[in-house]
C-alpha cells in the first residue's frame, strides 16, 4: 500500500501480526481443529494397542507427531503459547484505550460533533444546569461539567464496566493458561528432553526402580495413581508417561483401612468409599484419618486424594477340587489374582486366579408371560402403559459370589472359567453354575450341574462316572431292557435286542455326549428315518439314565433314589450337563466353598497449585463475558448554550433499547414528544 | 426512581412474597436434608426465580402455575407410586410421563399451527401457536417437578433432580429452548419465528418419543456415585441454556437466510435443488442399506445419527436454493439477525459458566479440573467456535450471510458435543449414552 507500511520494521510488523484479530481468529480455529484429533484418537493407551490398530507403518508416523498424547505434544503447546502471546499483545494494544474510555467523559466534544451523533435532539430553551444535574443523578449517571464562555457541557456516562469486560475476558485467557501451565507436566518434559529423567518401561517392583524414573516429593504438580488392598499402604504413586511410567514420591504414606461398596436394589453401584489413614513418613504416626468418596476427595498437605477405582485386592479363596475322572475331591486354598502350578492327570497346568466378585446382580429378563398375544393393539397398549410409568418390574437376582480363573495347560492354551459359589435356583431345582470360554472376547457359555439333596455335586459326579464307564454299560442296559419288558414296552423276544441298542446308545454317549450320538446317527441311519430313530435313542437314553443312577448309588452303597418328578428332572439335567462337560477343557471342577474378601481401592493423588489460578481466571472470564454483553455503556451529553439545549446519546451497541431510552430522556428532559427517530441502521 | 430498577407494582411484590414464602416453607421442611451447598442452591434458586419473574412478566404466572400443578400431582399420589396408574388425573395428565406426552403433542401442534400462520399469514393462528407453546412449556416444567417427586417415591436413596441422563436432559432442552424462544418472541413481537424454532424442539421431541418407546429410557434410574453431587443441579441446567440458545440462533440463521433478499441465478438454484435431492437420495439409500445390514441395534443408532446429518445437509442445500423466498414474512430480516446475536450472546455466557462449573465438578470427582476428556474437549471446541463467531461480529463488524451459515454450522458442532460425543467417543463423561 503506502510506503510507510512497506518500510515497517520487522519487530513492528511481527507485533501487528501477533496482535491482529485475523491471527487470533486463525489460532482459535486451529486450536479447535487440533483438539478434535485427541477426541477421535484414544489418548494415552499402551503403545501396543496403537501398533495393533494402525500397523507398524502408521505407528511410526503417528508416534513422533505426538498423536497419542496430543494435548501434551510440543506442537500443541506451541499453539497454546501463541494464543497466550496473541491475547497478551491484544490486551497490551487496547489497554490504554480502554483505560481512557473507562476514565474519560469525552467532555471536550464540540457542538458539531454532538450533532453528528444519530441520537440527538435540540430545543431553543436553555435548561438550568442544576436541573440537568439532578436528573442525571436520578438516572444513575456519573458526569463531568465543562464551562466554556457561557456554554456548559454536561458529559455523563453509565455502564463503564462494559469496557472493563473486554479486559477481564482476555486477561482471563492468559490467567487460565498460566494456571494450566503450572499444573502441566512441562518441567518434567524438559527434564526428559535433557535426559535427566526417563520413564521406566519394565514391570519391576517399585523399590527397584532407579532414581532416573523417580520424582521427588517436592515436585510442584503431579497426577498419579496407586491401588491399595485393604490393610496395605504406599508412599508413592505412578504417573503414566507414554510407553512407561514414573514413580512419584509422596510427602506421606497412604494406608487403606477398609473399602466400602454399596449397591442399589437394581445392582447399580451406590457408594464407593475408602477409609484411609495418612501416615507420617518417618514416624509412621497417623497425621490424618478420613473417608474418601467419589465427589468427596480428602486434601492433605496440598495433595488431593481421590477415589478413582476399586477391585479385588487378593482375597483368600477356598476351593473344593473335584477330579472329574476319579470323582475324588481335595481342597485347594489360594488367593485371587495369583498364579499357581497344578499337576492334573499327569499334566502340568497353571491356575491363574482372577478377581473375586462377591456381588452379582443380574437382570434375568422379564418373567415369562402366560399368553403372548401378537395382536398389534395389545402390543401398543402394553407399550403405552410402559411409557406411562417411570418404573418397570424387573427380574433382578443376586447370583452371589463369583470367581474367574484361567487354567493354562503345558502348551500355553488357556480356558477361562467363571464359577458361582451359591446354588442357582430355578423352578425348585438348584444348580452349580460354571461358565466357560476359550476366547477373551467370547461370551461365557454356562454349564448347569444339578445339585443333590445335600446341595452337593457328588451325586452328579457319581452318575457321570457310571455313565462314562463302559464296563458298566452292559449292566445298565440289562436293567433297562428288563424294566422295559416288565412294563410291557418290549416283548420278551426283543429284550436282548433292546439291551443291545441301549448299550450302543450308552457307549456312543460315553464317547462324546449327545453330539456323539448325533454323529453316529448321521453316519448310520438314512436321512428319512433319522428323526424317528433319534427320538427312540433319546427315549432309550432317558430310560437308561435311571438305571445308571441305580447302579451308581448301588456301587456307592447308598439307598436307591426314589423316582419322582424332582429326581427325574435331576437325571435329565445330569444328562445334559454330562454331555456339556465333554467340552469343558479341564479335568477338574473347582467349586468355591468359602472366601475371605480383601478389597482394593484405586486412588488418584494430585497436587495442582494452578487450580486456584485457573478458578480465578474462570471467574474473570465469566465476569468479563457478562460485562461485555449485558452492561450497556451509555453516554449522554447535554449541551447548554444561548442557542438552547442539545441532548445527544450514544451507546456501545445500537439496539432498540437505545432508541427507547433516548426517547425517554428526550421526553423527561426536554419535554419533547419523541420523534420517530429510527437509527440509521 | 432509578432507571436500572423500573417501577415495581403490587404484582411484582406479591410474586416475590410468594417465592419467599415457598422458599421458607421448603427450608423449614427440608433444610435438615440439605448440605450447605444445597442450602445455597435453594437460596440462589429463590433469588433467581424472583429475578426471572421481575425480568420477564409471564414468569410470574408460569412458575406458580407449574408449582400448583406439581403440588396437585403430589397430593394425588398420596405417597404411592402405584396411584400413577389408577388415579384419573395422574394417569391421564399429571404423572410425569403423561405430562411429557402432553408436552410432545402440544409442541407438535404448535409447530403445525405456526406453519399454518406463516403460510396463511394469519395472526390468529400465530397467537394460537404461541398459546400452544406456552401450554407445552407448562407441561414440560410440570413433568420435571413431578418426576423429581416420583423418583423419591421409588426410594429415598434413589430420588434425585431429573437432569441425570439423556432422556431427562432432552426434556430440559425442550423446556429451556421453548421458554427462551417465547421470551424473544414477546420481546421482538415476531411470532413467525416460531415456524423456525419449533422444528428443532420437535426434533428433540421426536427423539424423546423414540427413546421412550424403543428403549424404555424414561424409567427412573438411581444415580451412580460420580453423579451424586450438588454440582449436577447447576452444571446441567446452565449447559442447556447454552444449547437451547445456540439452537435458537441456528434456526433463526436459517430464517434470516430465507428472508433476506438475494438474487440467485436460476441455474445456481437448479443446481442447488438437484444437489439437495441427490444428497437426500444418497443418504436415504445408504441409510436403508446400512439399516438392513446392521445386526447390532447399537450400531444402528450411530447409522441413524450419521443419516440425520446427511438429511440436514440436503435440507440446508434446499435453504440455499430458496434464499430470499420469505421476504414477505419478515420484512425486516435484521431483526432475526439481532435475535440470533442475542441468543448466541446469552448462550455463550451460560455455556462459559457451565463449562467452568463442569471443570470445578471434575476437580472434585475425577481429580482434575481438565483432563482433555472428549466431552471437555468438545465443550472447548464449541466454546472456541462461538468465541470466534462473536469476535467476527463484534470486532470485525460482519453481519448477515456468513454469520447466519456459521450459526447453523455451530449447531452441528454443538449437537455433536451434546450427543455425538456420547455415542461415538468414549470417555469419563459417559452418563448420557444411548
pLDDT at residue A3 tops 70: no
H or E element in which residue A649 lies: strand A644-651
- Domain assignment present for residue B377? The answer is no
Averaged confidence pLDDT in chain B: 91
Q: For the segment A115-144, what is each residue's pLDDT rounded down to a tens digit?
A: 999 899 988 888 888 889 999 999 889 999
pLDDT at residue B2 tops 70: no
Sorting pLDDT into bands at 50, 70 and 90, what band is A372? very low
- Domain assignment present for residue B433? The answer is no
Q: For the segment A570-592, what is each residue's pLDDT rounded down to a tens digit?
A: 999 999 999 999 888 888 999 99
The alpha-carbon gap from B238 to the nearest alpha carbon of chain A, in Å, equals: 13
Grid cell for residue B385: 467456535
Q: For the segment A291-314, what is each residue's pLDDT rounded down to a tens digit?
A: 999 999 999 988 999 998 888 888
- Domain assignment present for residue B301? The answer is no
Of A28, A272, A661, the CB nearest to B225: A272
CA distance A580 to A445: 10
Of A31, A39, A388, the CB nearest to B384: A31
The alpha-carbon gap from A285 to the nearest alpha carbon of chain B, in Å, equals: 26
pLDDT at residue B296 tops 70: no
CA distance A611 to A223: 13
Tell me which chain B residues have a C-beta less than 8 angstroms from the C-beta of A272: 225
Helices (H) and strands (E) in chain B, counts: 15, 0
Output the pLDDT for position B432.
Answer: 57
The alpha-carbon gap from B178 to the nearest alpha carbon of chain A, in Å, equals: 22
Reduced to 3 states (helix: H, G, I; strand: E, B; else coil), residue A426 is strand
- Domain assignment present for residue B108? The answer is yes
Q: For the segment A541-563, what is each residue's pLDDT rounded down to a tens digit?
A: 888 999 999 999 998 888 888 88
The alpha-carbon gap from B64 to the nearest alpha carbon of chain A, in Å, equals: 25
- Domain assignment present for residue B140? The answer is yes
Output the pLDDT for position A11.
Answer: 86
pLDDT at residue A319 tops 60: yes
CA distance A30 to A51: 28
Of A29, A38, A618, the CB nearest to B372: A38
Give the percent of chain A with pLDDT over 70.
Answer: 95
Query: Is the CB of A294 less than 8 angstroms away from the CB of B365?
Result: yes
- Domain assignment present for residue B213? The answer is yes
What ipTM score was computed for the predicted complex, to two decimals? 0.92
pLDDT at residue A349 tops 70: yes
- Domain assignment present for residue B330? The answer is no
Output the pLDDT for position A680.
Answer: 37
CA distance A254 to A233: 5
pLDDT at residue A367 tops 70: no
Sorting pLDDT into bands at 50, 70 and 90, what band is A1? very low
Output the pLDDT for position A585.
Answer: 85
Q: Which residues pair with A406 in a beta bridge?
A: A352, A416
pLDDT at residue A41 tops 90: no
CA distance A424 to A430: 5
Output the pLDDT for position A399.
Answer: 87
Determine the longest span between alpha carbons in chain B, in angstroms: 71
- Most confident of the following: A47-61, A425-439, B317-331, B400-414: B400-414
Q: Which long-range contacts (CB under 8 A, 24 or more apart) does B75-80 make?
A: B77/B149, B77/B150, B77/B153, B79/B153, B80/B153
Can you give the residue range of the structural domain that contains B211? 85-223
Output the pLDDT for position A369.
Answer: 46
Of A35, A293, A604, the CB nearest to B377: A35
- Most confident of the following: A70-74, A526-530, A636-640, B301-305: A636-640
Query: Is the CB of A295 less than 8 angstroms away from the CB of B388?
Result: no
Domain count, chain B: 1
CA distance A242 to A68: 8
- Domain assignment present for residue B107? The answer is yes
Amino acid at each position: 500500500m503506502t510506503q510507510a507500511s512497506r518500510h515497517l520494521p520487522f519487530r513492528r510488523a511481527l507485533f501487528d501480526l501477533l496482535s491482529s484479530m485475523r491471527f487470533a481468529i486463525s489460532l482459535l480455529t486451529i486450536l479447535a481443529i487440533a483438539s478434535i484429533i485427541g477426541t477421535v484418537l484414544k489418548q494415552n493407551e499402551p503403545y501396543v494397542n496403537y501398533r495393533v490398530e494402525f500397523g507398524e507403518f502408521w505407528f511410526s508416523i503417528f508416534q513422533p507427531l505426538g498423536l497419542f498424547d496430543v494435548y501434551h505434544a510440543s506442537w500443541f503447546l506451541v499453539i497454546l503459547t501463541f494464543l497466550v502471546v496473541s491475547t497478551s499483545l491484544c490486551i497490551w494494544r487496547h489497554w490504554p484505550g480502554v483505560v481512557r474510555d473507562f476514565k474519560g467523559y469525552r467532555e471536550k466534544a464540540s457542538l458539531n460533533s454532538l450533532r453528528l451523533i444519530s441520537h440527538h435532539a435540540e430545543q431553543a430553551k436553555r435548561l438550568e444546569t442544576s436541573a440537568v444535574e439532578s436528573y442525571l443523578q436520578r438516572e444513575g449517571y456519573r458526569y463531568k461539567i465543562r464551562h466554556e464562555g457561557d456554554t456548559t457541557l454536561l458529559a455523563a456516562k453509565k455502564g463503564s464496566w462494559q469496557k472493563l469486560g473486554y479486559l477481564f475476558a482476555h486477561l482471563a485467557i492468559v490467567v487460565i493458561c498460566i494456571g494450566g501451565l503450572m499444573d502441566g507436566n512441562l518441567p518434567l518434559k524438559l527434564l526428559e528432553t535433557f535426559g535427566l529423567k526417563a520413564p521406566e518401561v519394565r514391570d519391576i517392583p517399585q523399590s527397584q526402580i532407579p532414581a532416573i524414573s523417580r520424582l521427588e516429593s517436592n515436585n510442584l504438580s503431579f497426577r498419579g495413581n496407586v491401588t491399595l488392598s485393604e490393610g496395605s499402604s504406599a508412599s508413592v504413586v505412578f504417573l503414566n508417561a507414554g510407553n512407561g511410567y514414573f514413580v512419584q514420591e509422596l510427602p506421606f504414606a497412604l494406608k487403606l483401612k477398609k473399602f466400602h461398596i454399596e449397591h442399589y436394589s437394581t445392582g447399580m453401584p451406590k457408594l464407593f468409599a475408602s477409609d484411609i489413614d495418612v501416615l507420617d513418613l518417618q514416624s509412621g504416626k497417623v497425621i490424618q484419618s478420613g473417608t474418601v468418596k467419589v465427589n468427596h476427595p480428602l486434601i492433605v498437605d496440598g495433595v488431593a486424594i481421590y477415589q478413582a477405582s476399586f477391585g479385588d485386592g487378593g482375597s483368600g479363596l477356598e476351593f473344593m477340587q473335584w477330579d472329574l475322572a476319579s470323582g475324588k475331591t481335595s481342597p485347594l486354598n489360594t488367593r485371587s489374582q495369583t498364579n499357581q502350578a497344578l499337576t492334573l492327570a499327569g499334566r502340568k497346568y497353571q491356575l491363574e486366579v482372577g478377581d473375586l466378585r462377591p456381588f452379582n446382580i443380574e437382570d434375568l429378563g422379564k418373567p415369562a408371560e402366560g399368553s403372548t398375544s401378537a395382536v398389534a393393539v395389545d402390543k401398543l397398549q402394553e407399550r403405552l402403559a410402559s411409557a406411562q410409568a417411570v418404573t418397570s418390574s424387573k427380574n433382578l437376582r443376586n447370583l452371589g459370589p463369583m470367581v474367574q480363573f484361567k487354567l493354562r495347560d503345558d502348551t500355553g492354551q488357556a480356558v477361562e472359567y467363571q464359577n458361582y459359589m451359591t446354588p442357582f435356583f430355578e423352578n425348585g431345582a438348584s444348580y452349580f453354575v460354571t461358565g466357560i470360554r476359550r476366547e477373551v472376547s467370547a461370551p461365557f457359555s454356562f454349564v448347569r450341574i444339578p445339585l443333590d439333596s445335600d446341595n452337593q455335586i457328588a451325586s452328579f459326579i457319581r452318575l457321570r462316572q457310571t455313565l462314562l464307564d463302559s464296563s458298566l454299560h452292559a449292566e445298565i442296559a440289562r436293567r433297562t431292557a428288563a424294566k422295559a419288558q416288565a412294563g410291557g414296552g418290549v416283548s420278551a423276544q426283543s429284550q436282548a435286542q433292546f439291551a443291545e441298542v441301549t448299550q450302543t446308545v450308552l457307549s456312543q454317549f460315553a464317547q462324546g455326549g449327545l453330539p456323539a450320538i448325533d454323529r453316529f446317527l448321521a453316519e448310520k441311519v438314512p436321512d428319512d428315518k433319522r428323526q424317528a430313530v433319534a427320538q427312540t435313542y433319546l427315549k432309550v437314553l432317558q430310560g437308561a439314565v435311571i438305571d445308571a443312577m441305580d447302579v451308581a448309588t448301588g456301587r456307592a452303597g447308598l439307598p436307591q433314589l426314589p423316582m419322582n418328578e424332582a429326581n427325574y428332572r435331576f437325571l435329565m439335567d445330569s444328562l445334559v450337563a454330562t454331555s456339556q462337560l465333554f467340552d469343558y477343557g479341564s479335568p477338574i471342577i473347582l467349586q468355591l466353598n468359602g472366601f475371605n474378601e480383601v478389597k482394593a481401592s484405586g486412588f488418584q493423588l494430585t497436587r495442582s497449585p494452578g487450580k486456584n489460578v485457573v478458578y480465578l481466571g474462570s471467574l474473570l472470564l465469566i465476569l468479563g463475558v457478562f460485562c461485555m454483553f449485558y452492561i450497556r455503556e451509555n453516554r449522554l451529553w447535554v449541551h447548554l448554550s444561548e442557542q438552547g439545549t442539545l441532548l445527544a446519546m450514544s451507546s456501545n451497541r445500537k439496539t432498540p433499547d437505545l432508541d427507547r431510552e433516548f426517547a425517554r430522556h428526550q421526553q423527561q428532559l426536554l419535554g419533547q414528544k419523541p420523534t420517530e427517530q429510527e437509527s440509521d441502521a | 426512581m432509578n432507571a436500572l430498577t423500573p417501577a415495581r407494582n403490587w404484582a411484582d411484590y406479591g410474586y416475590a412474597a410468594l417465592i419467599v414464602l415457598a422458599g421458607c416453607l421448603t427450608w423449614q421442611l427440608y433444610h435438615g436434608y440439605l448440605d450447605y451447598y444445597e442450602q445455597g442452591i435453594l437460596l440462589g434458586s429463590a433469588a433467581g426465580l424472583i429475578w426471572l419473574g421481575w425480568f420477564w412478566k409471564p414468569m410470574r404466572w408460569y412458575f406458580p402455575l407449574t408449582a400448583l400443578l406439581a403440588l396437585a400431582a403430589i397430593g394425588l399420589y398420596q405417597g404411592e407410586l402405584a396411584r400413577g396408574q389408577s388415579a384419573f388425573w395422574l394417569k391421564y395428565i399429571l404423572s410425569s410421563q403423561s405430562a411429557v406426552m402432553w408436552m410432545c403433542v402440544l409442541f407438535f401442534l404448535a409447530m403445525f399451527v405456526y406453519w399454518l400462520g406463516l403460510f396463511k399469514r394469519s395472526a390468529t393462528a400465530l397467537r394460537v401457536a404461541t398459546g400452544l407453546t406456552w401450554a407445552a412449556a407448562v407441561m414440560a416444567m410440570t413433568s420435571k417437578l413431578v418426576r423429581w417427586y416420583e423418583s423419591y417415591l421409588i426410594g429415598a436413596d434413589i430420588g434425585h433432580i431429573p437432569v441425570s441422563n439423556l432422556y431427562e436432559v432432552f426434556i430440559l432442552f425442550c423446556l429451556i429452548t421453548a421458554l427462551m424462544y417465547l421470551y424473544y418472541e414477546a420481546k421482538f413481537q415476531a411470532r413467525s419465528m416460531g415456524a423456525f424454532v419449533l422444528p428443532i424442539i420437535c426434533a428433540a421431541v421426536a427423539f424423546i418419543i423414540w427413546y421412550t418407546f424403543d428403549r424404555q429410557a424414561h424409567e427412573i434410574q438411581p444415580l451412580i456415585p460420580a453423579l451424586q453431587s450438588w454440582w449436577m443441579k447447576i452444571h446441567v441446567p446452565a449447559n442447556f441454556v447454552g444449547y437451547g440458545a445456540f439452537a435458537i440462533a441456528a434456526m433463526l440463521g436459517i430464517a434470516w437466510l430465507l428472508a433476506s433478499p438475494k438474487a440467485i441465478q436460476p441455474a445456481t438454484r437448479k443446481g442447488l435443488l438437484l444437489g439437495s435431492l441427490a444428497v437426500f437420495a444418497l443418504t436415504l439409500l445408504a441409510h436403508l442399506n446400512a439399516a438392513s445390514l446392521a445386526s447390532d441395534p447399537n450400531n444402528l443408532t450411530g447409522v441413524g445419527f450419521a443419516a440425520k446429518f446427511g438429511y440436514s445437509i440436503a435440507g440446508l442445500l434446499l435453504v440455499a436454493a430458496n434464499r430470499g423466498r420469505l421476504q414477505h414474512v419478515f420484512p425486516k430480516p435484521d431483526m432475526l439477525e439481532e435475535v440470533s446475536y442475542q441468543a448466541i450472546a446469552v448462550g455463550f455466557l451460560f455455556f462459559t459458566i457451565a463449562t467452568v462449573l463442569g471443570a470445578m465438578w471434575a476437580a472434585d470427582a475425577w481429580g482434575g479440573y481438565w483432563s482433555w476428556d472428549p466431552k471437555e474437549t468438545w465443550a472447548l471446541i464449541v466454546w472456541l467456535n462461538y468465541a470466534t463467531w462473536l469476535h467476527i461480529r463484534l470486532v470485525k463488524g460482519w453481519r448477515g450471510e456468513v454469520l447466519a451459515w456459521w450459526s447453523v454450522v455451530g449447531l452441528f458442532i454443538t449437537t455433536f458435543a451434546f450427543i455425538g460425543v456420547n455415542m461415538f467417543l468414549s470417555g469419563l463423561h459417559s452418563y448420557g449414552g444411548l
